[in-house]
Amino acid sequence: MSAILVYVEHDGGCVTDLSLQCLSCGRQLADQAGAELHAILLGAEAAGVPLADVIHAAKGEGLEPYTTRPHAKKLEDLVSQLQPLAVLLPSSTIGNDLAPRVAGELGLCVTLHCDAVKPEAEALHCRRLEYDARAHTWFAPMANGCTVATLADGIAESASGDTTGRVESLDAGLDADLLRVLVERREVVQKTVNLKDAKVIIGGGAGVGTKENFSLLQKLAERLGGEIGATRASVDAGWVSAERQIGQTGVVVRPDLYIACGISGAVQHAVGIRDARMIVAINSDPAAPIFKMAHYRIVGDLTVVIPKLLDLLG
Amino acid sequence: MSIHSIVIVREAWDTRDLATDVVGSDGGLVPGVLSHRFEPEDLNSLEQALQLKEEHGGRVTVLSVGQPAEVDVLRECLYRGVDAVHRLLPPEGVQLDSAATAELLAAGIRKIGEYDVVLLGVSLPEEENSLLGAELAARLGSDQVSYVDSLSEVNEQGFLCKREVEMGSEFLRVPRGSVLVLGVYLLKDDPRTPRSAKAMLKLKMKKQPIEEWAAADLGLADLATKVTTRVVTHEAVPPRQVDSITVDPENEAELKNMLQDILGR
Ligand SMILES: Cc1cc2nc3c(=O)[nH]c(=O)nc-3n(C[C@H](O)[C@H](O)[C@H](O)COP(=O)(O)OP(=O)(O)OC[C@H]3O[C@@H](n4cnc5c(N)ncnc54)[C@H](O)[C@@H]3O)c2cc1C
Ligand SMILES: Nc1ncnc2c1ncn2[C@@H]1O[C@H](COP(=O)(O)O)[C@@H](O)[C@H]1O
């Protein structure tokens, strides 16, 4: 029976939200094609993998934490064995590192960061946003056959529930030459705040200037019932914890209201907020790119403007 | 100890602030709308290579695929003091995807022979992906690390790479011979900021012939068969129209109206 294969990424054993979206998307494609949904999970127990008919799991040396070649090897072997119609991965640091490696090893077509997929007779077609978000480009394999794709946040609803499919153990063995890259240490913050579901977010950037000034944003957040978000710059400055970073290497948020304070609007941040219902930008530079996506623009010093807003809010 | 770095550089479309439509009614790209620039992340990796050489000795060799359109990125590298540049040319009329580009680059790298590291940047126009680097590493059979922010602890065995991941950083020990895809987050006055072209070198290198290696001479006359991906069509996406309201922070009434609006919804 034909198959759709999903690479399931996990964070310390907990399946990531984007992987759950990939499982939903994979389930739809499998049902349309009358295929089975297979999942592969490396370096963790096969728990919390809903919707898949078969879960291929392996634990062992070199599989946790992630490095490219051990995971690529296991995924390549499974792809060669299953000959799936498509291989879907989350568009994350890991997914976008792994997908082109596996495609390169096997000579398959690959498309990264897809926001839509469409099953056609000969193969899966994949769409991504390009050219400063002015064009959608559809990609397909040259020859009939398997497509490898990483899927962007929002591709489907997150699947929920526990593993119900059949679990099959994969051989965890790896040749020594695949184990030459070593993760010496990680400085990664465990998430404790949920920015994804926040209705109101007050974002602070380098323009906030000091840790003390962040308390202004905190007050505004409390008054509006919102959460604090941040740019990479203010996280790197040590004013805010990394779990609040919004953007490409942070979280993608969809609040009703986003107030950007002292944020220039670099594309890596903008991709994380472009689905906000309303954006208010406070920036002292009238030419800041953030103003182009803002519904309300306030050109001014945030240390003056925010206290005024707090006054008016009472 | 010395380090031979191979740097891959690209001339990429500059997609910042596009004012006009890029997709025509036929689903193709409108010619001439996009200008080109030196892929900024490749400039960062060139700088990394030059600094490795300055610190540890060695060489910097640069490869690029195709004839220049607007910016001759290889010549720009000569202006910044690299040791050698080679232009790789696909067979006439072949539209390369990243798989075929990687095949050609890998053949060029094999011709160069010994090296300690291959450096290139994430591709900015394509949402910072590391597609080409991973495709290349697969063809070289080497280790790869993507989203590398900086290198340290350079020794006979290899490097310590700091890479950016969701919610933080990771430090990886990588062997010599790896492909590193850089995604550098430049701070103000960052020592990793790419240098500009040197006036002296510009004079000296302006007419310097650039060696060209044709795919056929690298054993890839059949490069067209290595293409894996095709573009089916492009669809225009209308620019985001935001009805913007400018609020004067000195004007209390305007601020109040805004608050009413945003809290009312
Ligand atoms: C691989 C990679 C991944 C990245 N991922 C992310 C990511 O996930 N998220 C992210 O945010 N960034 C990310 N970045 C960094 C990104 O490129 C930008 O550098 C960052 O978003 C800039 O943050 P900023 O807007 O706070 O700072 P800046 O760009 O320095 O902007 C500060 C702004 O504050 C304004 N300002 C200054 N003083 C005041 C004042 N008193 N009142 C009002 N305004 C003031 C200035 O006019 C300026 O516009 C990434 C970069 C790379 C290379
Ligand atoms: N700005 C860009 N946005 C998206 N894709 C690009 C961009 N620049 C180059 N590419 C990719 O590179 C391929 C060749 O580019 P070119 O040689 O400039 O025509 C295209 O088919 C695209 O897939």
Give the C-alpha separation, A98 to B129, whole Å: 11
Give the C-alpha separation, A69 to A21, whole Å: 25
Give the C-alpha separation, A171 to B198, whole Å: 55
pLDDT of residue A204 exceeding 70: yes
| Count of CB atoms situated within 10 Å of the CB of A178 | 17
Which carries the bigger pLDDT value, residue B220 or residue B34? B220
Which carries the bigger pLDDT value, residue A308 or residue A188? A308
Give the C-alpha separation, A310 to A17, whole Å: 35
Predicted pLDDT of residue B265: 61
| Count of CB atoms situated within 10 Å of the CB of B125 | 18
Residue type, A43: G
Q: What is the mean pLDDT of chain A?
A: 94
Among A259, A264, A268, smallest CA distance to A283 is for A264
Centroid of ligand 2 to alpha carbon of A44 (angstroms): 38
Report the largest interatomic distance among the alpha carbons of chain A, rounded to a whole angstrom. Answer: 66
User: Which ligand is located closest to the Cα atom of residue A300?
Assistant: 1
Residue B51 φ then ψ, to 5°: -70, -35
Predicted pLDDT of residue A166: 97
Is residue B192 within 8 A of residue B48, CB to CB? The reply is yes
Predicted pLDDT of residue A196: 86
Residues 6+ apart with CB under 8 A from A276: A201, A253, A254, A255, A256, A257, A258
Beta pairing, strands A182-188 & A227-230: unpaired
Range of A77-91, A136-150, B113-127 with top mean pLDDT = A77-91
pLDDT, tens only, A101-124: 999 999 999 999 999 999 998 899
Element (H, E) at B171: strand B168-175
pLDDT, tens only, A235-244: 988 899 888 9
> What ipTM does the predicted assembly reach?
0.86
The reply to whether A129 touches chain B by the CB within 8 Å rule is: yes
DSSP A56: E
Give the C-alpha separation, A171 to A313, whole Å: 61
Q: Which of residues 18-47 of B touch A (CB under 8 A)?
A: 18, 21-23, 29, 34
The reply to whether B145 touches chain A by the CB within 8 Å rule is: yes
Out of A234, A249, A268, A304, give the residue to mutate to test ligand 1, the one with the largest number of ligand atoms within 8 Å of its CB. Answer: A268
Q: Is the CB–ligand 1 distance for residue A285 below 6 Å?
A: yes
Among B170, B174, B169, B180, smallest CA distance to A181 is for B174
pLDDT, tens only, A17-61: 999 999 999 999 999 999 999 999 999 999 999 999 999 999 999
Predicted pLDDT of residue B166: 81
Give the C-alpha separation, A232 to A130, whole Å: 23
pLDDT, tens only, B1-20: 899 999 999 999 988 777 77
Give the C-alpha separation, A174 to A75, whole Å: 12
Would you call A257 exposed, middle or buried from its count of C-beta atoms within 10 A (0-12, 13-18, 19+)? Answer: buried
pLDDT, tens only, B197-216: 999 999 999 999 999 999 99
Instruction: Nearest chain B residue to A291 by CA: give it.
Output: B244
Structure tokens at A28: 């739809």
Residues 6+ apart with CB under 8 A from A214: A204, A208, A228, A234, A239, A240
pLDDT, tens only, B70-118: 999 999 999 999 999 999 999 999 999 999 999 999 999 999 999 999 9
Instruction: Nearest chain A residue to B181 by CA: give it.
Output: A97
Angle CA B129–A92–A22, to nearest 5: 120
Predicted pLDDT of residue A251: 87
pLDDT of residue B225 exceeding 80: yes
Predicted pLDDT of residue B239: 79
Helix ranges (DSSP H) in A59-174: 68-82, 93-106
Predicted pLDDT of residue B93: 93
Centroid of ligand 2 to alpha carbon of B98 (angstroms): 10
Element (H, E) at A88: strand A86-90
- Which atom of ligand 1 is the closest one to the Cα of A288? 49
3-state secondary structure of B77: helix
Is residue B97 within 8 A of residue B227, CB to CB? The reply is yes
| Count of CB atoms situated within 10 Å of the CB of B55 | 10
Predicted pLDDT of residue A60: 94
CA distance B246 to chain A (A): 5
pLDDT, tens only, B44-61: 999 999 999 999 999 999
Give the C-alpha separation, A249 to A240, whole Å: 15
